[in-house]
Structure 1
Amino acid sequence: MTTLTIQDVSRQSGLSEPTLRYYEDVGLLGPIARDERSGHRRYAEGDLDAAQVLACLRAMGVGIEDMRTYQANRRRGREAAREQRDILLRHAERVEEQIATLRVHLDYLRVKAALWDARDQADAVAEAQAHAELESVLPRLEETFR
């Protein structure tokens, strides 16, 4: 059986070594086998797979408790499918809200850049147009702060 070092798993999963240790400490990974002589962690392929799943969840902003539930549900298999779906859809909804907020921020930045470009070009018509666009963006921007 092939075993991997913590450095191998860190490199392949994208999780730092301290994060891997932490995830083991809080029960998200493992328990991880140890080398009898050195005491160093020795990860199996299944541990690497679990670390990669956790890295994906973490990148999407999933918190520790939902990660813990997700990992437990992976072990339960099909009987936990509905709960897995619900966890993922709940986070998908949160990501959609973040995307909407970022779109408003992007609109604001582009309109402000157009305003400053018009000023740089001494283009009064373009500046007035940018001001009008800004008036439509500002209420949406203010909503993102609530």
Structure 2
Amino acid sequence: MYKISDFADMTGLSKETLRYYAEVKLLEPAYKDPTNNYRYYDDGSYFLALLLVKLRRFGFTVQEMISVMEDESFEHLEELLLEKREKIQMKMKDLQLQTEEIDDFLASGREEE
């Protein structure tokens, strides 16, 4: 069992994030000491925490992460990841078009000089 501070160091999640995730039932501690309310996490929690770190890095919202965690079989995870990937690719195309528009705008301003 790992104390919340040790678990935060291991996973890269802050203690505040871990408390929030417990509050929204996203990642609850394996054990909470009733005498002092200390939270303890186990190896199973570690795997789930690493998954949450990845999902957050991929731009998943808390609600999307909850949906993934509720589907304990992770049956739809690949589908969600592919959808997220497609959205990111679309954003990249949009950003590329914006960059090109800025370049064109700057170039047209230079031509008028």
Which bin holds the TM-score, normalised by the shorter protein? 0.7 to 0.9
Q: How many residues align?
A: 109
**% identical aligned pairs:** 26
Stretches of 4+ moved more than 6 A in 1?
Answer: none
Distance 2:97 2:14 in 1: 33
Report the Cα offset of residue 36 of structure 1: 4.8
Aligned to 1:97: 90
Higher relative contact order (CA 8 A, sep 6+): 2
Query: CA-atom RMSD, angstroms?
Result: 2.6
Mapped contact 2:29–2:39 kept (Cα < 8 A) = no
- Specify which of 98, 107, 110 is matched with residue 131 of structure 1: 107
Please tell me the residue identity of whatever aligns with 1:88.
Answer: L
Aligned to 2:78: 85
Distance 2:95 2:7 in 1: 33
Give structure 2 stretches of 5+ with no counterpart. none
Aligned to 2:37: 39
Report the Cα offset of residue 4 of structure 1: 1.0
Label 1:31 to 1:43 Cα distance change in 2 as closer, same or farther (>3 A).
closer
TM-score, normalised to structure 2, is 0.77
Distance 1:11 1:31 in 2: 15
Mapped contact 2:29–2:41 kept (Cα < 8 A) = no
Higher helix proportion (structure 1 or 2): 1
Give structure 1 stretches of 5+ with no counterpart. 113-129, 135-146
Please tell me the residue identity of whatever aligns with 2:41.
Answer: Y
Q: Determine which structure has more spread, i.e. the larger CA radius of gyration.
A: 1
- Specify which of 4, 11, 14 is matched with residue 2 of structure 2: 4
Distance 1:51 1:32 in 2: 12
Please tell me the residue identity of whatever aligns with 1:101.
Answer: D
